[in-house]
Each structure stands twice: as structure tokens, then as C-alpha cells.
Amino acid sequence: MGRRFEPCRGRQAQIVTDACSVQEEATALGIRCYTLLDATPSTVTLTHGTNVLLGDLEIALKRYEAAIEAWKRIETQNPEFLALVADRLINAYKQLNKAPEGLNLLRGYLSKYSSLDVLNVVFTCVLEQQGAEPAYELVRDEMRRSPTLLGLDKLLEAQLLETPVQRRADLELVKNLVHQHTRTLAMYRCENCGFRARQYYWHCPACGEWETYSPRRAEEKELPA
């Protein structure tokens, strides 16, 4: 790529590089390093995460259109990873004053690749842009297509927005009970050691393996095909 790299001195939190030599130096210093190569002698190259990370780098530089393009390329690599960037995508579109365009993109993803994380982002955007009734209809239709307890929790949230005040107490009780149960389901799981976490990890903190977490949450992974 023709970029220049400063020597690693142990201060960096993480590094993205296209140079094996930088990767090896970073690994020796204990600095997390992501490479943008198709293949490398080292074992910490991400095969699916490069465009996620490139988008984050572009956002840090306030290059929102470039970030969007990086994240959109995820669809051709592995569309399951769109769940990790749905919220970042819509925020980038908002920075460009193009929130409706971002919403249309995410609705397209949701229609092709059912995802609870994408549904959450689309629900919030529809609520902001179109109101409570379209938001409820969105979640209802998604629940019919892919019923889950996590989806039911979101459906009850949408119903509360449309329910008269005098009838909300019972519905809130049901929602709270469902929500307490879904907290154990809304987690990512390492496919190597089974460790579960509420946040997504490229590098499992339990077993130390790389890229062993699916971007789909536990309940989604356990649904029958």
C-alpha cells in the first residue's frame, strides 16, 4: 500500500497493517495487530473483520462515505457480520444527513439476512423517522418470519408505545419478565471453548483463540435451520 509505519514502542492499543514485519513486531510486544493480507505466516490475521476495522479507521478520520463503503463490502465477504456494523452504518449516514438512505439500506439487509441486531437498529430508525405504528409493524412482520424470544421482547416494547396508559401496567409486567429471560440469550459465544460474553470479541478472552465468535447471538445460533 505504500504507507510508512513508525516503529512499535508498546504504546499502541492496536495496529492495522499490510506488512508482515509490523505484524511480527507488534505480536512480540503484545500489541493487538490486525493484518489486511489474504495470507500471512502469522496466525492473527482476521479473515472477516478487515472491513469492519477499516470502517472504524475511516470514521476516526471523519471520512464517513469511505467508512460506509468499507462496511458495505462486508455483505460480499460474510453478511452475518453486518450485524456488527448496523449501528455504525446508520450513524455514519446521519453524519452525512442521509438517515433515510441509511434506513433503506439496513431494511434491505434485514429482508435478506434476518438479524436481531439489525432489527434493533432498524426499529429505532423507523421509530425516529416514521413513528410508533410503522415500528410496531416492522417488528411484528419480522417476528412472523423469524420468531425468537429476543424478537418478542422488542415486539412488546413496540406494543407499549401504542398501548393506552391505563393498560400499560400489565403489558410492562410481561415485558419485564421476558426481558429478564432474554438477558441470558443476548450473548455471543466462543465456538472453541463456549465462553459467553455480552460484547463481541475477535480474540476470545477465555481461550485466547482468534475469530471464534459468531456475529450472531446465542439464541439466533440455536434456532433450527
CATH 1.25.40.10 fits 78-161, yes or no: yes
Closest to 64 measured CA to CA, from 90, 100, 83: 90
> Among the ranges 4-13, 23-32, 90-99, which has the highest mean pLDDT value?
90-99
The CATH number of the structural domain formed by 183-225 is 2.20.28
Which ranges in the chain are annotated with CATH 2.20.28?
183-225
Average pLDDT over residues 154-164: 80
pLDDT of residue 2: 40
d(CA 111, CA 20): 39
Which ranges in the chain are annotated with CATH 1.25.40.10?
78-161
| Residue 8 clears pLDDT 90, i.e. is over it | no
Above pLDDT 70, what percent of the chain? 74
Q: Which secondary structure element, helix H or strand E, spans residue 17, and what is its range?
A: strand 14-17
Kindly report, residue by residue over 188-213, the tens digit of the pLDDT. Answer: 889 999 998 888 888 899 998 888 88
